[in-house]
Every structure is written in structure tokens, then in C-alpha cells.
Structure 1
Amino acid sequence: MNRNPYFNYIDEKLHVLARRIETRGKLNMLDLHLHSENFYLHLLNLLYGYSLENLNAKLQNVEAIDLIDHTNKIVVQVSATCTKQKVESALSKKLMNNYKGYSFKFISISKDASDLRKKTFKNPFSLAFVPTTDIVDITTVLNTTLSKKAVEIKEVYRFIKEELGGEVDVVKLDSNLASVINILSKEKWDETNESESVNSFEIERKITHNDLKDSKDIIDEYCVFYKKVDEKYSEFDTSGVNKSTSVLRSIRKEYRNLKNSGTADFVFQEVIEKIKEKVLESPNFEEIPIDELELCIDILVVDAFIRCKIFENPQNYNYASS
């Protein structure tokens, strides 16, 4: 398969969006789904030459139909749920009787739909619907993109870059942040790895100094792993000079961007979310369960807090035990 850098970027960003939708995490799912509707509206128009518009922008909470193209007579449902029941539920809505002569398309925005395309469906209002071609997933979109000319692929890239952000790397560089998460994910984080290498009184002083109330429990729980994280950073640095420094700088950069955006607890949680997004977007990230990923990121951010990389330090703060 021809894999130019623009296509690589498109592939990566679509899968990152799918993972965010699937894992949900602390994201506002409604906002994310609405964003996905509009994102796919423009993407499908670009790829297939449709004239789709968002029906929910005109009529709130329309059942079964999210996007509509009156010119080409197409109705579309955009969904994070990829099941036969979901498709049949849409096709059976009385609203569909208003769209006889239209074709129905189902867009799966987070799940692979290859098995769904093999099924047969009840279609009581007889909309034009061929599952093999009218059920679309990320693989379908990528294959369609790949069939385009280079100039058209670049146009898709420009659209996705504007919508989802970031720059294409012609040569993909490993993400140090993802690499250290990969290392941490192989550890067993229990009492056997707890240590007394930090001064708990000093950490408590810093928590109070920054008025961290809701985040206190996370810091108290994971500060005991400071020594183990330090060992893992040393292990990580053997593969390159001061690579752990770039990880701590990444966390500090997110903190600086967010430090004036709300309460201290809000900023602490948002730093965690931003680091999670960075890791999920990295081509170097090894897939692990979302709860394990969040555990590793909590530990890393708490460690950065202890090491004076984020939040203000009280006078004469000294986190290391003597």
C-alpha cells in the first residue's frame, strides 16, 4: 500500500478521534459526538462530492437522521454504536417514510463495521440501502482517500489538520512521552513498589500552598512511587541523553498553557487529560487498557508535581527525604 506522509497523518488522526469516542474518559460525550457529526459531514462532502448538511442544526434531536443531502437524496446516521439493532432502529423510524427515494448511509465513527456489512436488515420504508457499500467506517474512508490523486489526498490532509490540529511529520519521530508510558505500563504498581524517598510533609505543604483539594487524594496515593518512577526514568535515559527531560518538559508545557484557565484542581485534571491526548496521538504508543493508561499518566503527573515541574513551590520546598 502506498503510504505518503499526508495519508499517514489522516490515518493516525481518524484513529485517534475514534479512540477518544470509544474510551470517552472525562470528555463531554455529547459535545464530542456533535463535533463528529460536523467533522464527518465535511469529510464525506470532500471525499464523495455530497452536499450534506446537519439536520440537527435545523431540527433539534431528529431521530435516526443526522445529516441530509437533498440534492443527491441521501440521509445519514453518524453513530459510535455499531450494531444491527442500531441500524434497524434507524431504518424503522416513521420519519423515514418522508424520505422515500432517498438512500440511507450508516457511518460508524469508532468501530470497525466489516462484520456489520455482512448482515441483512429490516427496511420497512424501503429506502435504498446496500449494507456492503452504504455502511461506512474508518477503513472505508481511508480506502477512499487512498484511491484519490496526490493533490486530493493533500486537500483531505489540510481539512483534517484544521479540524483536529497538529502537523504532519514526513519522518515520524518516536514520542518520548509514549515511550515512557510503555515502560511504566509493564510495572506492577502496588505496595511492593512504594518507597519513603520523598518527604510527605513537604508534599503536603505544596498541596496546601496551591489549594489543591480534589487532587490531593491522587497526589497522596501516587507520590509513594517516586523512587520507582525515578528508576524507570534512568532506564529510559539509557536509550538517549536526558530523554526523560523531554517528558517532564511536555508536562510542564501543558501546565503553563493551562495554569490560568481555572482553579488549581481544574488545571491539575486538565494537565492529565492533555497528556492522555498526547499519548493516544503518538504513533509510538503501544495499545493498553484505558484504565492502565490513566494510572500511568496519573503517576507521571504526580511525579512532575513532586519534582517542582508543575505548580508553585512553597518557600524552601525540599521533596527529597534525607
Structure 2
Amino acid sequence: MARVKTDIIINAFALLESKIKLYSHLNLQDINIHLENILRDILNIIYSDRQFINLNTEEGNFASIDLGDNINDIALQVTSTTTPKKVRETISKYKDEYNYKKVIMLFGKIDKPKRTITFDTEIDGRFEFEEWDFSMLIEKINDCKSHEIDQIQQILINEVIPKVTSNLKTEDDSATKLWDNLEQKDIRNFKDKLLDVNSNIRDARIEMYCREIASGKVELSNYSEREISAMKYRVFEICQKELLDFCDENEKKELSHIEINKLITDYTEQAYIVIEERTKDYSYPFKNKDTLKKIVLALIDECYLSFDEKGIYV
């Protein structure tokens, strides 16, 4: 790794460790959600032959593990707690039907503890087990190809480093004021909006959306209401144009779940474009598509956006 890349990556992980330590001291665990998504994206670059997902956003209940790949090879739990008790709890909660070949506990620390014990009795040959820390992850990043290291560096710049430098730009105060004056006109909740365009949508799919909304509320609570309200207004503004175009081009009253998902994706893409452009002049706490999607879902749930004509502001 070139020196400048090394410095940026090491500084980012050092900053993450400090933040995790302070959040844990205050008994605040919300940072773990953000950390899981950062590590998921980094692992998908390190292990290009597989696709890791955040299991906490899936429909099933994955006790004891947070990330898993699509070939049932590696599962990880992301945690800042390094005690033997925590390790034993993770192993005991792991369900055999998960069927991962290796389980890794990835500690949000630069240095993991040196063990004088093993957990072979608890594992009982069911899977391989390893304990990683940020230092081990940095070593694996160091073994990546140059363009992959560039990608990982950019993730850390976007998701970690801006938390320190964002105040160098002006906050989008005008958007905050416009949001404060915005009326909630479409009083339907997310479920009602879904049923209005797909009367046969499965309950399981509705529950999936509801979990995403709940997860989004937790993640967005990491940021100040002022920052989020500015982003919500800019996303609302561009997505209203997207909804108007969609309704003009679509005459069907019933939408398939595929069409609903596509509209949410289109909303998210437009949100990304507008925030990416405005970031040149204004500071926003994030601009990754995963979190922007959570803002889109929040807008739909909070009566500002929908999948049909009723959600158009006039």
C-alpha cells in the first residue's frame, strides 16, 4: 500500500475504534449498525468471489451473526466486546442450520486480546472459528490489488473521515427551513400506500419493508435532526419530480412488487444524484445509497411520498 493510502486507511480505523469505545462507554450501540455496513462493503472487495450481506436486514432471525456471504462459507459477528463470555454466548447462540463453514468474531478494536484459552469445547467441530481485529483487516486490505485498495479507501473517506471534516462546508439551512414548513398531506402510512397499489401484496413483504423502516429510524437517529431534515427536504423535492413522471407514464392502478421496488430504487438513485451534486457546496452527514434509501422509506412512511397520485404535492 502506498504511504498516503496507508495513512488514510489506518486513520479511519483508528477513528472508528475511538468512536466505538466512546459510544460503548455511553451505552449507545447505534454505531454498530453503521459499522456493519462499512465492513460489509469492505469485505465484498477483499473477497470478490462472494457477496456479503448484512443479515440484520434480512427476513430471518440470525442470532449471533451479523454478516454472511452468499456461498455459506464465512459468517461474522461485529462487536466491540472481547470477553470470553461474549465469545461463548456467540457460539452457543449460533444455529446449526446457518451452515457456515467459518465463524469470525470481528472486534471493533485495533488489537484483539491475547487468549490463554480456546473455545474448542463450545464449537465441538461444527465450524472453524477465528477472532479478528482491525489490524488483521488492514493486513488483508494490504494484500488487495491497487484498484481494490483505492475502492476501500474511498469507502472509508465517504463513511468515516467526513465526520471530522464536514464542518468545513456550510449546512443546508434553507432546506431545513423548507422542511420545517412542509405539510404532511398524504396521511396514509407505508402499509396503506402499499395496499393501495397492490391489494394482494404478501404480509411477509410488508413486514420486510416495516423492518427496513425501523432499522432506518435507528440508523438515522445517529445524526442530528437538523442534518436529517435538510437531507429529507432535498430528497423529497427530487423524488416528487420522479413520482410525477412515474404517474404521468403509468396508467395502471395496480403495481407488482417488482414495480414497487423499482420505484423505490429510482427514488434512491435520484436522491443520490441530488445529494452528490449539492455536497460540492453543502455538508451532509452521509451520501451512500443504503442510508439514502432509508430516508426514502422514511419519507414514504411519514406522509411525504408514495407510489401513486395521492402522494403528489400541488
TM range (shorter): 0.3 to 0.5
- Which structure has the bigger radius of gyration? 1
- TM-score computed with the length of structure 1 as normaliser: 0.47
